């Protein structure tokens, strides 16, 4: 029995290298168009549904950050990748249940999806066992729909309002407030979504000047997100191929 993932076949490695070259070129072009420094944008490779061997291959190609959205899948993948010598920064980007916090803090370097005071508290308790603080991005709702994920900007809601959530993260010794994350709402033009996000982020940074990360943009809209100040783009399908299931 070994934890080592099967090495990827040469054709898969070539496929990943080609996808990576394309995504890197898109990011570089978007930075140029926006008058931004290429070094200001981090690519987070979203490896959900793909095996640990792909993580290892991507790390070998210079990818430093990977994203996963389900603890059940990510926990084992992180162990497998590490056994093969790949230790990228793991970003947890999915909806997080409080009873999964204890597991997530074992492998995640960043949790991008904290959107309630209660979740911040559960994560802080779990992260107390770590030897270094856990970086947290507050997921913010762009359309303000309380029925979906994301803390609510301009809301006084003590549980879901953006300021109370960010304050709870900032006050927790085991957590470090890094910035904001958002997903463009379905049915919104990315342009409108990220313009709105940029306003929220501007006000957020007035309040928390050290929390400068802005995670926005995916395979289909990363250029627009970079144009509106994204510091992290989360790219799955453009890099690894279309996922068999939609999630
Ligand atoms: C799956 C996922 C992504 C990547 O989406 P692609 O369209 O495949 O690039 C980005 N962010 C989150 C939160 C995701 O769940």
pLDDT of residue 6: 79
pLDDT of residue 3: 64
CA of 1 from ligand 1 middle (Å) equals 33
CA of 14 from ligand 1 middle (Å) equals 22
Is 235 touching ligand 1 by the criterion CB < 6 Å?
A: yes
pLDDT of residue 2: 54
pLDDT confidence tier of residue 8, bands split at 50, 70 and 90: confident
pLDDT tens per residue, range 146-178: 888 999 999 989 999 999 999 999 999 999 999
- Percent of the chain's residues with pLDDT above 90: 92
Does the 10-240 domain belong in CATH 3.40.50.980?
no
Nearest of 88, 58, 93 to residue 217 by alpha carbon: 93
Is 236 touching ligand 1 by the criterion CB < 6 Å?
A: yes
pTM for the predicted model, two decimal places: 0.96
Helix H, strand E, coil C: the string for the chain is CCCCCCCCCHHHHHHHHHHHHHHHHHHHHHHHHHCCCHHHCEEEEECCCCCHHHHHHHHHCCCCEEEECCHHHHHHHHHHHHHCCCCCEEEECCCCCHHHHHHHHHHCCEEEEECCHHHHHHHHHHHCCCCCCEEEEEEECCCCCCCCCCEECCCCCCCCEHHHHHHHHHHCCCEEEEEEECCCCCCCCHHHHHHHHHHHHHHHHHHCCCCCEEECCCCCCHHHHHHCCCCEEEECHHHHCCCCCCC
pLDDT tens per residue, range 183-205: 999 999 999 999 999 999 999 99
Is 139 touching ligand 1 by the criterion CB < 6 Å?
A: no
Is 95 touching ligand 1 by the criterion CB < 6 Å?
A: no
CA of 44 from ligand 1 middle (Å) equals 10
Give residue limits of the domains in the chain: 10-240
Is 69 touching ligand 1 by the criterion CB < 6 Å?
A: yes
Which residues on adjacent β-strands are paired with residue 180? 138, 214
- When the pLDDT of each residue in the chain is averaged and rounded to a whole number, the result is 96
Nearest of 61, 116, 115, 74 to residue 240 by alpha carbon: 61
pLDDT of residue 1: 47
Q: Quick check: 247 pLDDT over 90?
A: no
> Which of 93, 230, 243 gets mutated to test ligand 1 (max ligand atoms within 8 A of its CB)?
93
Mean pLDDT of 93-113: 98
Tell which atom from ligand 1 comes closest to the C-alpha of 239.
9
Nearest CA to ligand 1 atom 7: 219
Is 219 touching ligand 1 by the criterion CB < 6 Å?
A: yes
pLDDT tens per residue, range 225-246: 999 999 999 999 999 999 876 5
Other beta carbons within 10 angstroms of residue 162's beta carbon come to: 24
121 to 70, 97, 114, 129, 169: CA distances (angstroms): 20, 12, 10, 14, 8
pLDDT of residue 246: 53
Tell which atom from ligand 1 comes closest to the C-alpha of 234.
10
Is 231 touching ligand 1 by the criterion CB < 6 Å?
A: no
pLDDT of residue 245: 64
Is 234 touching ligand 1 by the criterion CB < 6 Å?
A: yes
């Amino acid at each position: 029995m070994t934890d080592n993932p099967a090495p990827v076949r040469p054709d898969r490695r070539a496929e990943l290298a080609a996808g990576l070259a394309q995504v890197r070129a898109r990011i570089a072009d978007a930075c140029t168009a926006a008058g931004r420094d290429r070094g200001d944008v981090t690519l987070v490779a979203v490896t959900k549904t793909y095996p640990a061997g792909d993580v290892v291959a991507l790390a070998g190609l210079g990818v430093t950050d990977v994203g996963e959205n389900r603890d059940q899948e990510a926990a084992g993948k992180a162990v497998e990748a590490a056994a093969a010598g790949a230790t990228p920064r793991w970003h947890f980007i999915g909806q997080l249940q409080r009873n999964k916090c204890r597991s997530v803090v074992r492998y995640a370097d960043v949790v991008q999806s904290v959107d309630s005071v209660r979740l911040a508290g559960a994560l802080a308790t779990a992260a107390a066992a770590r030897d270094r603080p856990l970086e947290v991005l507050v997921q913010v709702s762009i359309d303000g729909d309380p029925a979906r994920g994301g803390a609510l900007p301009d809301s006084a809601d003590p549980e879901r309002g953006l300021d109370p959530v960010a304050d709870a993260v900032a006050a927790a010794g085991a957590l470090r407030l890094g910035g904001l994350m958002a997903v463009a709402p379905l049915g919104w033009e990315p342009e409108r979504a990220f313009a709105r996000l940029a306003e929220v982020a501007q006000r957020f940074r007035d309040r928390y000047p050290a929390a400068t990360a802005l995670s926005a943009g995916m395979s289909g809209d990363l250029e627009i997100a970079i144009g509106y100040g994204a510091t992290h783009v989360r790219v799955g399908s453009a890099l690894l191929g279309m996922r068999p299931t939609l999630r």
